[in-house]
Chain A
Amino acid sequence: MTGGPDIDYYDWPGGREAMLCFGPLRPLVLLALPLFEEYNRTRTFAVTLLHMLAGRGIGGMLPDWPGTGESRVPTDQMTLAAIRAAYRALVDDRAPIFAVSIRSGALLDVGVPVVARWHLAPQEGAELIRELERQRSAEGDVAGNVISALSLAELAGATVAPARVLRMESDPRPADRKLQGSPIWCRAEPANDRPLAQILADDIADWIATCVA
């Protein structure tokens, strides 16, 4: 299986957004990147991971949510409620879906009928807010994103759903598995980590196999 991903579109009540599609149609992973600045830092890694999953016979979707990526919704109109509605619409359309996420992407699959959830270093809404507040510049934006007060209020109470959880070994919080190495989301320049992506691709493939068994 060679070549680049396909560009596809999905509809949700608020409009139409783009997404990348990898590999076969089934089984199908929906990968949710983190929100805001960590999105930029982890996207290359996520695409690498999706290519590796495709190589293992697992399909993947990497959607732009309303207000993120190539979406024409302005960032200051981006809300968690809208993104969750878009997530739900996509799952309803393409079910059955295996939900995979990195960091605050885990906030998006709450209450959605997916087969199962797999979270890399899930970040709760309150933790994300603390991070955003720190990143806020003197002009009030966060790394060029204007974040609405509504969005912050939503995030304050947002929590993640139960999932298979993987964390870096430097993180003392509970996890089903701990991973060696540096967290890819914490450096300003986007980094990639192919060996880690291979480990995660194997973990996800094994996890999917046990889910369908």
Chain B
Amino acid sequence: MQPIRAANLLPEGMTKVEKTVRATLVDVLGISAERAADFTATTPLFGALPELDSMAVAGVLTELEDRLAIVIEDDEVDGDMLETFGSLVEFAVRKALV
């Protein structure tokens, strides 16, 4: 049975973006869908996931650009945005749903 997550209570657009971020992490980092399904807003990313090195960060950002039809400038990328799954989703939502 799926635990209720905060994401389920968000508007449809935001849930779709969250799903895209999750799928992107699976595809770029090569982690299992099950492992990514357990990520919550506070799950730490950069610095905590060994798979998420600087090359993988580049790959995640490029994929998010393609999938969400957004452009991510260099100066928008900082440690805060990559700190947790929640912060990354929040960033993507802000870019995608403007």
Contact = CB atoms under 8 A, between A and B. Distances in A.
A131 interface: yes
Interface stretch (A22-30, A56-64, A112-120, A181-189): A181-189
9 tightest Cβ-Cβ pairs between the two chains A and B = A134-B58, A182-B27, A135-B58, A131-B62, A186-B28, A186-B59, A187-B30, A170-B67, A188-B55
A64 B94 CA distance: 42
B61 A134 contact: yes
B58 A187 contact: no
Contacts of A186: 27-28, 59, 62-63
A134 B69 contact: no
Contacts of B83: none
A143 interface: yes
Interface of A: 37, 127, 130-131, 133-135, 137, 143, 170-173, 182-183, 186-189, 191
Contacts, number: 53
Nearest to A170: B67
Given A182-B27, A187-B30, A171 B67 contact: yes
Contact of A143 (B26, B30, B55, B57): B55
B65 interface: yes
A170 B23 contact: yes
Nearest to A132: B58
B38 interface: no
Contacts of B26: 182
B27 A188 contact: no
B56 interface: yes
Contact of A170 (B20, B58, B59): B20
Contacts of B53: 188
Nearest to A128: B62
Interface in B63-97: 63, 65-67, 69, 71-72, 74
